[in-house]
Amino acid sequence: MKNPYPDPLAGRSGYTHELLASLTPEELKQYIANYQWSQAHKSFPDKPNSVYLSKAYYMYRTNQFIYDAQKVLAEHDKKKSDDTEVIDHE
């Protein structure tokens, strides 16, 4: 089964935070939906040869990708609601 949600970052390289910041809110929603669909439909070996091939590791990594995208999407929403620039001091 093929993922119906396109990955807006496919074929692009660079720092993830910069790539996510370059996406529109709609593209961020596609990015999130892509990973959520993949989490629900990906299959894994019963006894993977490496922890990096396990479902637990995949869920850990993709949950982080989703969280990062949701954070950027929230910044877009905040900027849109109060019409000011959001500055992250991390």
First to last CA, the chain: 40
Q: Does residue 3 fall inside a structural domain?
A: no
What pLDDT was estimated at residue 45? 92
pTM for this entry: 0.83
For residue 57, the tally of other CB atoms under 10 A from its CB is 14
Q: Does residue 2 fall inside a structural domain?
A: no
What pLDDT was estimated at residue 17? 93
**Can you give the residue range of the structural domain that contains 51?**
25-81
What pLDDT was estimated at residue 78? 83
Q: Does residue 72 fall inside a structural domain?
A: yes
What pLDDT was estimated at residue 30? 98
Q: Does residue 68 fall inside a structural domain?
A: yes
How many domains does the chain contain in total?
A: 1
Mean pLDDT per 10-residue run, the chain (90 residues)?
95 96 96 98 94 96 97 88 60
Which amino acid would we find at residue 59? M
